[in-house]
Amino acid sequence: MRLTRTRLRSAVAVSTTVAVAVTAALTTTVAAQAAAGCRVAYTVTSQWPGGFGANIDLTNLGDPLTGWRLTWSFTAGQVVGQLWNGTVTQSGGRVTVTNAGWNGNLGTGAGAQLGFSGSWNNSANPAPTDFALNGVPCTGSPTPTTPAPTTPPPPTSPPPTTAPPTTAPPPTSPPPSAAQTSTVGRVRAVGASVQYTWPGTYFEGRFRGTGVGIVLNDSQNDYAVQVDGTTVATLVTPGQTTYWVRNLADAVHTVRLVKRTESPWAAGEFGGLVVAPGGTILAKPAARSRQIEFIGDSWTAGYGNMSTTRDCSANGGVTRNSNADVTFGALTAQSLNADYQLIAWSGLGMVRNYNGGGTDNFRTYYETDLQALWNSTVWQKPATWQPQLVVVGLGINDFSTALNAGERWSTPDQLAADFRTAYLGFLDKLRARYGPDTFIVLTYPDLSGTLLASSVQQVVRTRTDAGDSRIRSLYYDDNALGLDKLGCDWHPSRRDDQLLAGALTRFIGTLPLTW
């Protein structure tokens, strides 16, 4: 059988931090006597063959700004790929970032935090040394732009000695997105919006009227928009916009926004709903009593599942052909009227990523709110999230490719032993998180060997022998189910997801769940 291939987007952390002091001129909206200045801390947070991630902490040391432009030059051929919290352009080595719509105002001592993923030449990755704010290089201390006044100005607060907070202070009331819509996804409030990265994150709301607008700020992801249970639009990297659905009957409607794609390094941003004139936002839908958490890799995330050909290079690529909303997990939850999370990342494994890449793994990121985003932190699980069922699908990436020279396992059996130990530890974490009553189902598909199957089965036996009565395993038999794996790179297709959802739903029906 041909091996299942999964995408790897993993980083090897490095500890390269370069503090750069810069000073810049203010925009023309600032008074003539204004002082200008800023400080930049540039940090390479991760680096891997061909790619790297970096953070930039910008602090304004001058008078308040109502808009800003940060520039720098790369000297070794580095190229910015995805950037968040601003808009980037690059010409040769020269990079220009302008503020996003929500972070243009920088008071004295205030900061803006940027992050990006980029490429490098695998030889040298030096930090830029010519940062400039609004066009003028600086020294790192406020500098008057006109002759100093004859009387000393009032004292100002010293610049902060540490980087500014990575997130805005919690709002005193829920942002519109939280107040108007319901979600069980891992989201973080940022001003009047919420941010998120995990695939399949969805928001549901209700309104009365003839039209509804969906406030978004996302240039990386694709979305499905559904009204009254019907998909009315697919938004491809919509950017900063309010997307309108109009000409509806003047009645009560439901609206659902769902993130179709993966974005481990870039957050989407949802700002809530607006209605057409004469309409009203209604109370958000009540949470469903049933909850399921799906944990996994590309199969769970929906990698390339909308494609009808395994080579997606000519039909839009993997991202355009991915839809987390029609994965087996989403379909299973929807058929059971359950709320759900898809905690999935293509290419990552329990201890070993696809083809042995990277040094982190899925367990590194399981508890994070914004995955590998530069300011991600541990998600504070609310008391309202208590799934009665957790479905785990990890191990394909651990075993689907042969070991390479230099990996820490000399033999497949050593890898399998490490996999089992890590899996048992991961299950301990799930039990501590959700308690003894949650059912945990460990799934595994066909592979060209038996190590994944035997390891999962042994893990279940070990847990059962230790008194854990609510753990099971489920084998997806490719031939018996009739999977075609016509998704990108031999992944499950949309048809396969339907077949997998049927198998999983039937299996769930055999469990003594009380929900």
pLDDT tens-digit map of 304-344: 999 999 999 999 999 999 999 999 999 999 999 999 999 99
- What are the structure tokens assigned to 60, written together? 């304004």
197-252 pLDDT, tens digit per residue, is 999 999 999 999 999 999 999 999 999 999 999 999 999 999 999 999 999 999 99
Rounded Cα–Cα distance for residues 515 and 512 (Å): 9
**Integer angstrom CA distances of residue 22 from 63, 82, 138, 259:** 15, 24, 4, 39
Radius of gyration of the chain (CA): 25
User: Other C-beta atoms within 10 Å of 189: how many?
Assistant: 17
Rounded Cα–Cα distance for residues 213 and 227 (Å): 12
Catalytic residues: 298
Report the candidate in 267, 163, 282 with the shortest Cα–Cα distance to residue 221: 267
pTM of the model: 0.71
Q: Note the pLDDT of residue 138.
A: 64
Q: Note the pLDDT of residue 64.
A: 87
Q: Note the pLDDT of residue 471.
A: 98
Q: Note the pLDDT of residue 142.
A: 56
Beta strands in 61-165 (DSSP E): 69-73, 79-84, 86-91, 94-99, 111-119, 132-133, 136-137, 143-144
- What are the structure tokens assigned to 77, written together? 């051929």
Chunk the chain into consecutive blocks of 10 residues (it has 515) and report each block's average pLDDT, rounded to whole numbers.
40 40 33 60 78 84 88 90 83 87 80 83 86 78 43 34 36 70 96 96 98 96 98 97 98 98 96 96 96 98 97 94 98 98 98 94 97 94 97 97 96 98 98 97 90 98 98 96 97 98 98 94
Rounded Cα–Cα distance for residues 498 and 413 (Å): 34
Q: What is the DSSP string of 273-322?
A: EEE-TT-EEPPPPPPPSEEEEEEESHHHHTTTTT-SSS--TTTTHHHHT-
